Amino acid sequence: MNLNSIDDLQAALREQLYIADRGLATAIYLALRLNRPLFLEGEAGVGKTEVAKVIARLLDTDLIRLQCYEGLDVHHAVYEWNYTRQMMHIRVHEARGEHASEAELFGPDFLLRRPLLQAIENTREKAPVLLVDEVDRSDEEFEAFLLEVLSDFQITIPEIGTIKAERPPVAVITSNRTREVHDALKRRCLYYWIDYPGFDKEFEIVRAKVPQAPAQLARQITGFIQELRRADLYKVPGVAETLDWTAALVALDQQALEPGVVEETLGVILKYQDDVEKVRGENLRAILDRVKVTV
C-alpha cells in the first residue's frame, strides 16, 4: 500500500470505509512516519477503536488488542508463566528420575505471551498494530508501566532478559475520558480528539457502512441523530448507535422514519431512561417534523 502523503492515507482510509477528517488523517500519518503512539480521545462510539482496526487492515498486519480494566497487571498485559505445564514438566522429569532445571522451567517454552509482549516480540514479518483500548479504565500503576513500555518498546523479563522490538508496533491508545489520563503518558503520543461528526460526514458514514439503507432513510436518520446531539440529553448517541439504529430500521424494512417505529426503537440510540422519556411523544413528533423539513 502506498501511503506517501496525507491525501493517500485519507483516500486509503475511505476505501476501508473509514471516513476521517483531515486532522485525524494527519495525526495517523505522522504516527506512522514518526513511530509515535497515537492517543485518541473522545466520547463513546465516535470510532476510536475502529482507527486501530483500519490501520491494521491498511498495513496488512496483525492487530493486537489489549482491553484495559482496573487492576490490569503485568501478568495479564505482558507475560505469565504456564504453571500447569511447569508442574507437569517437573513431575515427568521426576518420574524419569531426573531433575528439571530452573533455566528450562523458566524458558521461552513455558512463557505465556500476553498482548504487550506479543506486540514487541520480533516474531512477525511486519510490525503489528497495538491497540490499548480504553486506557482510562486501567489504574495509575498500569499507566506508569505502559509509559515505560511505550518509551523504548522494550520489556524486561527477569528470567529471560530484555526483549526489544526491532520494528516498533504502531501503537494506538484510546480513552473515553472517564478519568483524566496522566499528562506524562499523553505527552509521549500524538493526541487527537475525535468529535461527533457533522451531518455530511455522518451521512457519508451511514451510507458507507450500511449501504443497503435507502438514501432517504439514511438522510433522515442522520438528521434525527444530529438533532438529538443538540438536545439536552445526559448521554447523546454516538456514531456506533447511529449505525446500529440504521441496521435495526433496515431489518424492520423501514423506508422513512415513522413516529411509532422510532419510539419503539429509541432504546437502540438512547441508553438512559430519563433521556428516552424526554424524547418520547410530542417532542419526538416535533423533532421528526424538523428533520423532514431540513433533509
Partner 1 sequence: MSGNLLHNLILFGRLLRGLGLDVNPGRMIDLVHALGHIEIGRKPDFYHAARSLLVHRHEDEPLFDQAFEMFWRKPSEGGVTLEMGGLQARPRFRRPLVTPPPLRPSDAKPPEDAEGQSPADQPPILQVTVTYSDREVLRHKDFAEMSGEELDAVKRLMAALVWQLGERRTRRRKPGKGRLLDLRRTVRKSLRYGGEVLEWARREPKYKPRPLVIVADISGSMERYTRLLLHFIYSLTAGLDQPVEAFVFSTRLTRITRQLHGREVEAALREVGQAVSDWSGGTRIGEALKAFNFDWGRRVLGHGAVVLFISDGWDRGDVDLLRREMARLQRTCHRLIWLNPLLGSPEYEPLTRGMQAALPYIDDFLPVHNLASLEDLARRLTDLDERRGIRARRFVMTSEVKNYARRSI
Under the binding rule (CB under 8 A), the answer on residue 186 touching partner 1 is yes
In 3D space, the residue among 271, 216, 212 whose CA is nearest the CA of residue 238 turns out to be: 271
Q: 66 — phi, psi (to 5°)? A: -120, 110
- The H helix count followed by the E strand count for the chain is 15, 9
Give the Å distances, CA to CA, from 268 to 116, 201, 249, 263, 278: 34, 21, 10, 10, 15
Least distance to partner 1 from the beta carbon of 203, Å? 22
Exposed/middle/buried for 203, CB within 10 Å: 0-12, 13-18, 19+? buried
Q: Which residues 47-86 are close enough to bind partner 1 by CB under 8 A?
A: 69-71, 73, 75, 80-81, 83, 86
| Site residue total, partner 1 (CB under 8 A) | 47
Q: Which is nearer to partner 1, 139 or 204 (CB)?
A: 139
In the complex, minimum distance from the CB of residue 100 to partner 1, in angstroms, rounded to a whole number: 7
The residues, any chain, with a CB within 8 Å of residue 73's CB and separated by 6 or more, are 141, 142
| Smallest gap from residue 173 Cβ to partner 1 (A) | 11
Provide the 10 A C-beta neighbour count for residue 135.
23
Nearest distance from C-beta of residue 255 to partner 1, angstroms: 35
CB of 51 to partner 1, least distance (A): 13
Round to whole Å and give the CA distance between 192 and 44. Answer: 14
Q: Does 157 bind partner 1 (CB under 8 A)?
A: no
**Which range, of 89-97, 117-125, 206-214, 260-268, touches partner 1 by CB under 8 A?**
89-97
Q: According to the binding rule CB under 8 A, does residue 121 interact with partner 1? A: no
33 binds partner 1 (CB under 8 A): yes
d(CA 206, CA 246): 8
User: Candidates 46-54, 189-197, 238-246, 281-289 — which segment interacts with partner 1 by CB under 8 A?
Assistant: 189-197
DSSP designation for 196:
P
Asked if 277 is part of the footprint of partner 1 (rule: CB under 8 A), the reply reads no
What span, in angstroms and rounded, lies between the C-alpha atoms of 247 and 203? Answer: 14
Region near partner 1 per CB under 8 A, out of 99-107, 119-127, 241-249, 256-264: 99-107
- Smallest gap from residue 146 Cβ to partner 1 (A): 15
Q: Name the DSSP letter for residue 173.
A: E
Binding site for partner 1 (CB under 8 A): 5-6, 22-23, 26-27, 29-30, 33-34, 36, 39, 41, 69-71, 73, 75, 80-81, 83, 86-87, 90-91, 94, 99-100, 102, 105, 136, 139, 141, 177-180, 183, 186-187, 189-193, 234, 274
